[in-house]
Amino acid sequence: MAVKKERIFYYDLLRAFAIIAVIICHVDFYFGPLNTPFEVIAQLTFHDIGRIGVPIFLMISGALLLNRDYSNLGDFLKRRFARIIYPFIFWIILITLTNFYFHKPYSYMWNVFIGNPSIMWYFWTLIGIYLAIPIINIFIKEYGETGCKYFLAIWIITIILNTFNMYPLFPYFKLDYFAGFIGYPVLGYYLSTKKFSYSNRKMWIVGLLILLISLGIFVAYTYSNSFPSVEVMYQNILVAGMGIGMYLFIEYLDKENKFNSIKNNAIGKTISSISLCSYGMYFSHVIIIMFMSKINPHSNILFPAMFIATIFLSWLLPYIFSKIPYVKKVSGV
């Protein structure tokens, strides 16, 4: 009999937060008219919090997949790709049918498939990440923490240069293997395994401070329109800082047993369910938002209700599919 693996709660909490953060990035139009600086800053803060979602997802992947024994490369790729490709095909069909319903042009639907403009860019990025994981895994197993530090040092340098639109500094000095999303899985593995000399309490406080400072600076720059490369949303040092801060904050609150009181009650079960449905929610919220946009009241007062309804329905759709025989395998749950 197969032994069921015990779930790590802070991974579930981070994953649940991450999918809600992704949805945050796509519901800005629920806000009513932004007539005051306070309303603009509130909207920017809300939206910028959403930028933490993608780094968190990739960091969790690294924590779970790196420094592992993969004796058969083909089996690893088959398992990884089966878990993301079949749901992608299922949901892209539903999203395409929804686009037909809303009379979107064929060119738009093709762009949705390839990720421009749509959230599907993350699927294609994840394919690249999974292709690279076995290579990075061997490097991490060989060099351990020293290898992580080496990789992350170069990655952070390229991230800083990206932030200020200075990468590459010289045309032929390229660090493309370090400059993209691949640094987040390595970062997640490092933060999950590093034994810091500070107490758990100090670490979650440090994480919270990093999160708040990075978020505050990011909001200030976006509000003033002075961020030199704001289009590089996930490859700048402030978004990386927000991801690091949130990851440490949740990880070390869990290590200090701050979540013990909710792990087995309705709150904990809700968090675990959202975590399990997160990949399906990644697709389903596109459909939900298309329909919700037709009843959008454009009211700041009603925004919380619209936002909560979007999260609930985005969870409900893959959850229902996961209860249907045969469909469960492609539901993303």
pLDDT digits (tens, 9 = 90+) for 239-265: 999 999 999 999 999 999 999 999 889
Query: Of 212, 171, 250, whose CA–CA distance to 11 is shortest?
Result: 250
pTM (global) more than 0.95: no
In whole angstroms, give the CA distance from residue 82 to residue 92.
Answer: 15
Structural contact between residues 248 and 210, judged by C-beta atoms closer than 8 angstroms = yes
DSSP count for the chain of H helices, then E strands: 13, 0
> Tokens representing 9?
């709660």
Helix (H) or strand (E) holding 99: helix 73-101
**Higher pLDDT, residue 311 or 110:** 311
Average pLDDT, the chain: 88
Is a pLDDT exceeding 80 seen at residue 293? yes
Is a pLDDT exceeding 60 seen at residue 99? yes
C-alpha distances in Å from residue 268, one per residue of 13, 182, 276, 279, 281: 9, 30, 12, 19, 18
Helix (H) or strand (E) holding 305: helix 303-321
**Higher pLDDT, residue 11 or 293:** 11
Helices (H), the chain: 9-24, 37-50, 53-65, 73-101, 106-114, 121-163, 176-179, 183-193, 200-224, 237-255, 266-276, 278-292, 303-321
In whole angstroms, give the CA distance from residue 148 to residue 333.
Answer: 31
Residue with tokens 């990093």: 210
Burial class (CB in 10 A: 0-12, 13-18, 19+), 238: buried
Handedness of CA 291, 295, 298, 304 (dihedral sign): negative
In whole angstroms, give the CA distance from residue 253 to residue 10.
Answer: 9
Question: Residues 307-319, buried b or exposed e (16+ Cβ, 10 A)?
Answer: beebbebbbebbb
Structural contact between residues 251 and 198, judged by C-beta atoms closer than 8 angstroms = no
139-147 contacts, C-beta under 8 A, 24 or more apart: 140/66, 140/67, 140/186, 140/189, 141/67, 145/190, 145/193, 145/194
Convert the pLDDT of each residue in 153-207 to its tens digit: 999 999 988 888 888 888 888 887 787 899 999 999 999 999 999 999 999 999 9
* Residue 17 DSSP class: H
> Tokens representing 57?
């997802």
Cβ neighbours, 10 Å, residue 176: 9
Structural contact between residues 273 and 78, judged by C-beta atoms closer than 8 angstroms = no
> Tokens representing 102?
């809303």
Q: Which of 163-177, 204-218, 268-282 is predicted least confidently?
A: 163-177
In this prediction, residue 230 has a pLDDT band, given cuts at 50, 70 and 90, of very low
In whole angstroms, give the CA distance from residue 43 to residue 299.
Answer: 12
Q: Three-class SS of residue 324?
A: coil
Write the single-letter amino acid at 40: V
